[in-house]
Structure 1
């Protein structure tokens, strides 16, 4: 007798239910869909894959796959036709009614996600690859037992993940965070029960996050660091924490959300040709 294996991720067709401008570079989009009741999220920095249509398409062209073998199935489609894939963070997933909320850091016409979000309107259709089990591999914030305090560095692309992480923190946990944003209006303070001290760094008006961190006095005790944003900055922060501050490598979670001078299409093409 065989036992069926349920894929931990699947495709969902979603439609825009509402759009809200949060700040000069952040747009919040709420999505609805009849199948969203099956979607799950671990919260925190839960990653999902959004698929955008090409110009002239009403909805993205997607593979005929339930999510079990999604990447080869998507990769096999014509790149000029298939849905344009980008990685985002689940800002929230709520019930009654079922809604998926995603915050988009927009930067003009320089990417498909930004272009789409700037024009998003109720009724627009996308597809998303998302988990159907809350405990899944697509989130990284996992502080080890015995963590005494949390260090966070991020830029505006990681603000939705920072908000999810802060919302999940226990009361009174000491947190030191440095967040770099493009505009003073992007300082969207994340709600939390933790004892959080957030330093906002407006790009061009304050020292870069690496310099600000080097000048900072940090708490004692066992730290856990979550570092996200531009890839080169993330690597520099990790080197500083491990080599200069003596952080245990296993207590530093780092993720490059984007790479200066390189598009996600170029990164995907390099990975596919490797």
Structure 2
């Protein structure tokens, strides 16, 4: 694994790659630089859950708190298998094509979902997007995800996730696979 640097606005961020390590050139120095062990550790903090399983869930409800965001509540018995892990916990959401009401969609049943999907015809494959869990609702066996509504002014140009969020109705079946989290504050760090 190697770490490079990416700068979008002058701030250097570590970028992880699993290629063979090679020396990186820095704009600040004339000599090649090798990432420090700390830089490698920071860039590889993604914490996968101890046990993962595909969750079969239903849409419990949705609300639009602002013109560009939709909050969708997902719930069901399988929420008990979701380990609450961190502030930026995310997972893959599998859902039917929001533009095709007649499609019989195959929702994967295990973390070997890529293999399962490649064996399905294109009309039966669900759409897949990754979303962060915004809040847990343990008493309701549910959690919320927030979806950014891109192209709010021209719905025909919106992406799959935006179109699905707008069309999601209570009872709609989806699948969710926990992908873990990466924000891991130091032990004893204060939070607000």
> What interval of TM-score do these two structures reach, taking the shorter chain for normalisation?
0.5 to 0.7
Aligned partner of 2:63 in structure 1 is 20
Indicate which of 12, 36, 44 corresponds to 2:87: 44
Deviations 1:40-96 (A, max 9, x none): 221311110001102125774123x432x2332233333332111111101122212
Shift of 1:143: 4.0
Distance 1:117 1:57, change over 3 A: same
1:127 aligns to 2:175 (yes or no): yes
Distance 1:83 1:138, change over 3 A: same
Distance 1:12 1:145, change over 3 A: closer
Aligned length: 137
Structure 1 residues 1-274: aligned runs within 5 Å: 8-54=51-97, 55-57=100-102, 60-63=105-108, 65-67=109-111, 69-108=112-151, 109=155, 110-130=158-178, 138-144=180-186, 170-171=190-191, 193=192
Unaligned runs of 5+ in 1: 1-5, 131-136, 147-168, 172-192, 194-274
Greater helix proportion: 1
Deviations 1:122-143 (A, max 9, x none): 222211112xxxxxx6211124
| Structure showing greater relative contact order (alpha-carbon pairs closer than 8 Å, 6 or more residues apart) | 2
Unaligned runs of 5+ in 2: 1-48
- TM-score normalized by the length of structure 2: 0.62
Distance, in Å, in 1 between the alignment partners of 2:103 and 2:75 is 16
Distance, in Å, in 2 between the alignment partners of 1:60 and 1:7 is 29
Distance, in Å, in 1 between the alignment partners of 2:143 and 2:103 is 20
**SS of the counterpart of 2:86?**
coil
Distance 1:76 1:34, change over 3 A: same
Shift of 1:104: 0.8
Aligned alpha-carbon RMSD (Å): 2.6
- TM-score normalized by the length of structure 1: 0.45
